[in-house]
Amino acid sequence: MRSEPSVSIIVPTLNEEKYIRQAIGSLIPVEGLDYELIVLDGGSTDRTASIVEELASSNASIRLERNPARYQSAAVNLGAKVAKPQSAIIVRADSHAEYPPGFVAGLVGELNQQKVASVVVPMRTRGKGFLQRGIAAAQNSRLGNGGAAHRTATSSRYVDHGHHAAFDRSAFLAVGGYDESFTHNEDAELDLRLRRSGARIWLCSELAISYFPRNSFGALARQYFNHGSGRAKTMLKHRRPPKLRQILPVGALGLNALSLASGIVVSPLFLLPGLAYVGACMTGGLFLAVSERDPAGCVAGPAAMIMHHSWAAGFIYRVLRSTASKAWPAPASIEAVR
């Protein structure tokens, strides 16, 4: 009789034809676990769905489902509901990543051994081309990640938040899963509710994954704008102040904007604080290039500046939008007045 629990691996995806085959291949357990792998596609317009169907034709444990809501939060919620009834554990996996050997089995073991509701893992960013390697260098360093636990952890421990990997299915459903109004930062918001319910979160440092970052500055800026907006939304929903490392980008944006405006209107001397910030980031990138022996590290300086300012802009946008909606509530409809 099989003693291992059944596992449902849930993979949200959208236009990931470059990465989906590799991601699925690295996720399939080889340890004899009872598993299913569900790809939730949000309406891909490339070959993502056809690649998954091809893989499913040779592996009955793989299946493709549609995610009409498109977002990751909705995909994982749907996957947790449509997973086979005997699945006690759900694994959330990204199609934009690569997983170490024994990843799923390791998560199952950690979840059972630690008796927790969730296991999270470190995320090491890895690039392929020159620009992507530079962006990866920024995201892997304190210059870009500010010391986030799931970016810097070297030992396993209980944490408040981390990169989501596995859940006790009943605990996940008991708190309502992800808040589907969140397009970003849904993981941190869920972790808050899990901890408030009395559940614990375990960071397993041995199961670090490789994540492939955006490969253009424009895509990076959009991603971090959304991250900042999502973090502000979590803060406003739960009325929790941001951590220092999360508020520093807002300070950097304010400092640089004031420095630039004052330098233009008042005196060029006021440009010095902004130039000092730019110099510090560029020096940090140069240090990464030398320490990692990769010239692409020089890109980490500009990448970090884009990450800082985009995150801050998204954060401020969400706060101002929330403030405006409270100050100017939507007018009642004619039908409601009647």
In a domain, 208, yes or no: yes
pLDDT tops 50 at residue 94 = yes
**Number of neighbouring beta carbons within 10 Å of residue 186:** 24
In a domain, 19, yes or no: yes
Residues 115 and 199 in one domain: yes
Confidence label for 333 from pLDDT (cuts 50, 70 and 90)? very low
In a domain, 162, yes or no: yes
Angle at which helices 48-57 and 20-27 cross, to 10°: 40
In a domain, 313, yes or no: yes
Q: What percent of the chain has pLDDT over 90?
A: 77
pLDDT tops 90 at residue 4 = no
Closest CA to 71 of 171, 183, 168: 183
Which of 157, 182, 213 terminates a domain? The answer is 213
Contact 201/195 with Cβ under 8 angstroms?
Answer: yes
Over residues 235-256, the pLDDT tens digits come to 999 988 888 888 899 999 999 9
Over residues 144-195, the pLDDT tens digits come to 887 676 676 678 999 998 899 999 999 999 999 999 999 899 999 999 999 9
Which of 182, 213, 244 terminates a domain? The answer is 213
Confidence label for 331 from pLDDT (cuts 50, 70 and 90)? low
**For the residues of 269-336, what is the DSSP string, one character each?**
GGGHHHHHHHHHHHHHHHHHHHHTT-GGGGGHHHHHHHHHHHHHHHHHHHHHHHHHHHHSPPPPPHHH
Contact 56/21 with Cβ under 8 angstroms?
Answer: no
pLDDT tops 50 at residue 44 = yes
What's the gap between Cα 337 and its chain centre? 43
Closest CA to 187 of 71, 102, 308: 71
Q: Cβ contacts of residue 197 below 8 Å, gap of 6+?
A: 117, 171, 174, 175
Q: Phi/psi at 40 (nearest 5 deg)?
A: -100, 105
Residues 21 and 154 in one domain: yes
Contact 166/121 with Cβ under 8 angstroms?
Answer: no
Residues 201 and 84 in one domain: yes
Which of 213, 248, 277 terminates a domain? The answer is 213
Residues 109 and 238 in one domain: no
Encoded tokens for 129 = 């081309």
The tally of domains found in the chain comes to 2
Residues 154 and 204 in one domain: yes
In a domain, 66, yes or no: yes
Residues 170 and 241 in one domain: no
Closest CA to 5 of 168, 176, 200: 168
Q: Which domain holds residue 94?
A: 6-213
Distance between CA 8 and CA 308 in Å, rounded? 36
Closest CA to 213 of 123, 283, 103, 146: 123
In a domain, 103, yes or no: yes
Q: What is the mean pLDDT of the chain?
A: 91
pLDDT tops 90 at residue 38 = yes
In a domain, 57, yes or no: yes
